[in-house]
Structure 1
Amino acid sequence: MSGKLRFRGESSHKVDSKGRVSIPAHFRRVLEEGDPEYRDAKAAGVSGASPNVVIVYGNSKKDCLDCYTVEAMREIEEKIAKMPAGQAKRVMEYIFHGKSAVIAVDDSGRLVLSAKLREKAKLTDMAYFISGGDHFKIWSPDVFEGAEAVSIEDWMDEQPDDFDPLELLNSVEV
């Protein structure tokens, strides 16, 4: 996704009884840019076109939904296709092909999350969105604060007082 828009920020949104939840406005722009069919439809003047989001829910180790643009998912799928045959490839296919859903963003900028997806992420009345650059995650606010945020803060607490997170990028080549 180099040179393209990235997901940034965090936000909490209400989930209604039908599973509808608003996507943060900036996230919608990234989803639009990352969906070639949406871009083509808009360029052709098609009204009512909606971008899609690919929601991956197959990682049993996480109580959240991993959300990708169509293009980001294609990049992942290309890497999976190049993996050697075996258990690791089958696991990746299971998680990213079998346990994923393509969902259109509605005219109001919302996703309709099925009961299955809401149950996976333990969503009730609120959803917490947090970006990860090339993807975003949807968490129950309570689950995020009770597990994920704590593990990040614990790790940060283990670092020296003068620790600068940018140091982690020193060994990364661009």
Structure 2
Amino acid sequence: MSEDFRGEYYQKVDSKARVSIPAAFRRVLDAGDPSSSDTSRTRIVMVYGGKSRQYVECYTVRDADLLAERVRALDIGSKARQIAERDLITRSLTIEIDENGRIVLPQKVRDKIAFDDGDETAFAGTLDRFQIWKRDTYDAVNGSLDDEDDELPEGMDVLALLSRAKPAANSGA
């Protein structure tokens, strides 16, 4: 079983701000919550900080702990640590997935992504975390599949970007 978040999914939100987590994402979240075996509900850590972000980033409990370790490694009192603590730790929420595989989008999350009643979400897998966007914003930012090659030099395949990358252990954020 892969422990990566992959793919993009569009999900409707009901009138109570509940949205279903894609089943493939739920399996990764289950595997990444060591204490979920003690409770009946898997937890998810939602990070809504970051001024320029138009999405909320979601982590397994395990990967959120790894993210916190990276923040802890910064010098206490440094500007970088202050910003990281504010945007990645303070501006985060831990919520539970209900027995039907849904979460309630907290008000701070809805505010962050400019979500209004009747909007649809986009869940975007990014390996060790996933993003939740307002669908209209996601589509506007990410464009169509035809636009993706515009960022690569003419004739270059996207796999060429990986030619010098070294595989790393799943290191979280």
* TM-score bucket (shorter structure): 0.7 to 0.9
Give the CA RMSD over aligned residues.
Answer: 2.0
Q: Which segments of structure 1 move beyond 3 Å, counting only runs of 4 or more?
A: 150-155
| C-alpha distance after superposition, 1:24-69 (max 9, x if no partner) | 000000000000001x32xxxx6xx111110000111011110000
Identity of aligned residues (%): 37
Aligned length: 164
Question: How do 1:85-124 residues align onto structure 2 when only pairs under 5 Å count?
Answer: 85=76, 86-124=78-116
Q: What's the CA shift for 1:146?
A: 1.4
Superposed CA offset, 1:82-127 (max 9, x none): 1123000110000111100001001110010122211211223211
Q: Give the structure 2 partner of residue 67 of structure 1.
A: 58
Compute the displacement of 1:166 (Å): 1.2
2:161 pairs with one of 148, 159, 168: 168
TM-score w.r.t. length of structure 1? 0.87
Q: Is the alpha carbon distance of 1:102 and 1:172 closer, same or farther for their aligned partners in structure 2, counting shifts above 3 Å?
A: same
What SS class does the counterpart of residue 50 from structure 1 fall into? coil
Question: Aligned residue for 1:146?
Answer: 140
Is 1:130 the counterpart of 2:136 in the alignment? Answer: no
**Cα pair distance change 1:170/1:93, threshold 3 Å:** same
Q: Which runs of 5+ in 2 are unaligned?
A: 168-173
> Is the CA contact (8 Å cut-off) linking 2:48 and 2:108 kept in structure 1?
no
Q: Which amino acid aligns with 1:12?
A: Y
Q: 1:32 aligns with which of 22, 25, 30?
A: 30
Once the two structures are overlaid, the 10-residue window that deviates more, 104-113 or 117-126, is 117-126
